[in-house]
Amino acid sequence: MKRYEALAADIEASIRNGTLKTGDRLPSVRHTGQSRGVSASTVFEAYYLLEARGLVRARDRSGYYVTGGGLRDAPPESTLTSRPDDSPKSLDVSDQVFDILEASMSRKVVPFGSAFPSPLLFPLARLGQFMAASARSLDPWSTVDDLTPGSAALRRQIALRYLADGMTVPAEEIVVTNGALEALNLCLSAVTRPGDAVIVESPTFYAALQALERMGLRAVEVPTHPGEGIDLEALEQAIAAHKPTACWLMTTFQNPLGSLMSDAKKKALVELLARHQLPLIEDDVYAELYFGERRPPPAKAFDTQGLVLHCSSFSKCLAPGYRIG
């Protein structure tokens, strides 16, 4: 059992035996870390796990509090990992993808088949005000100056956002694209040629399979756990057996499983790929949709050799219609 799992188990036991009651505030992350002799990240992982089980809930600027829901209806922890056929496969998925997208357009259903937030959640009125104000003061030459890499001011703000998460990414290394999917496709075309094998999770995001199909690439599925993410041992075996030229993975809130790789596992993933000099295309569009005091760092945070191509957007958290990737 890992340290954060042991800590979570102790707190859960205290909740279930009545020592901690509904509405009680958990000790602060700093206090728990000092008293248990563990790092703050370990405490966060434990609290995230308890939150996922429905036993605690984070309150903004206040901490974590015990809830009553998890005592009755928390789902059992999954012990299942997918077991795909590990042979590389040619793909034919486009028709299925179009069926899913067409069904997602209906206002009568909640589209579990595609990860689109409700449009009612976005601050469209405020965005419209900012857009109007910006358009009035727009420098006409910016429509030419920003053509290739994207707006210099926007790239600087994105670089500052990386810096806030502890990553130093120069603005000149950032390219603004027409949504994250274009970024992912550009990365895929930069590191592969038709006929190459590409590692994907099983199951994986349907648009990843569609991109591989369009480029004439073969998919190598690797078992993936719904809680902990891709199986690193199976990944290394697949690399040795099939000699892929890239990986396309979602390390944070994977679609469709929702799995979140721990910081330690993300670091181990990057180290594994570095040993094989294998590029990682990291699809990280859901990281903003986190509960807690900090956003989970991407695998890119542990990259020291420039092998991780990090792709994200604002489509799931702010403004899907802007198509900013």
- Give the pLDDT score at 230: 95
Domain with CATH 1.10.10.10 in the chain: 3-73
DSSP class of 297: P
Domain with CATH 3.40.640.10 in the chain: 94-112+178-322
User: Splitting the chain (325 residues) into consecutive groups of 10 residues, what average pLDDT does each group show?
Assistant: 89 88 90 89 89 86 79 53 68 68 74 74 89 88 79 91 88 92 95 96 90 94 93 95 96 92 96 97 92 87 95 88 87
How far apart are the C-alpha atoms of 211 and 230, rounded to whole Å?
Answer: 20
Q: Which of 3.30.1300.10, 3.40.640.10, 3.30.70.360, 3.40.50.720 is the CATH number of 94-112+178-322?
A: 3.40.640.10
- What average pLDDT is seen over the chain? 87
Give the C-alpha distances (Å, rounded to integers) separating 153 from 145, 156, 164, 176, 284: 11, 5, 17, 11, 22
Half-sphere CA count of 218, side-chain side, radius 13 A: 13
- Give the pLDDT score at 149: 84
pLDDT digits (tens, 9 = 90+) for 33-79: 898 898 988 898 899 889 888 899 988 778 899 986 555 444 455 55
Residue 182 makes CB contacts below 8 A (sequence gap 6+) with 325
Instruction: Return the C-alpha torsion angle 7, 10, 16, 18, nearest 10.
Output: -110
**Helix extents (H) in 137-262:** 142-145, 152-164, 180-191, 206-214, 232-242
pLDDT digits (tens, 9 = 90+) for 273-292: 999 999 999 999 999 888 87
Q: Which of 3.30.70.890, 1.10.10.10, 2.40.10.340, 3.90.1150.10 is the CATH number of 3-73?
A: 1.10.10.10
